[in-house]
Amino acid sequence: MNVTNLRTQAAQLTEYWSPKVVGQVNDQYIKVAKVKGEMAWHKHDAEDELFLVLSGRFTLELEDGAVHLSEGDCYIMPKGVLHHPVAEEECLIALVETVTTLHTGDLVTEQTKTIEEQLAP
């Protein structure tokens, strides 16, 4: 069995909004990311996703409000919900997503990372 420190893994990343897969549980990837600024509005039609804040603060803007997360908080984004991730300052997050989840869901932008990019060391 391997021990993985999610905060350490996320802190070592050099690119914002570029999640990396650090593990897999059944058909779910465990990913870490370093984020700052904004990600495009998008949704995932077929998959829920879990956001866990490892350090900092993170906001998920929704069409009808916003979810504000601090260190240790998590939120499950229901499938089909349009969301806009925002981090005013650098923030480290973990994500739990079905292996079929596309990075920016129904939208492809210059920020979009393929699963191959997310699996790369």
Between residues 108 and 49, which one has the greater pLDDT? 49
When mean pLDDT is compared across 53-67, 68-82, 99-113, the lowest value belongs to 99-113
**1, pLDDT greater than 70:** no
Q: What is the C-alpha to C-alpha distance for residues 90 and 26, in angstroms, rounded to an integer?
A: 30
Domains and CATH numbers, the chain: 6-119 (2.60.120.10)
How many whole angstroms separate alpha carbon 60 and alpha carbon 6? 21
Q: Which among 106, 109, 98, 79 is positioned nearest to 17, based on CA atoms?
A: 109
pTM for the whole structure: 0.92
Q: Does residue 31 contact residue 92 with C-beta atoms inside 8 Å? A: no
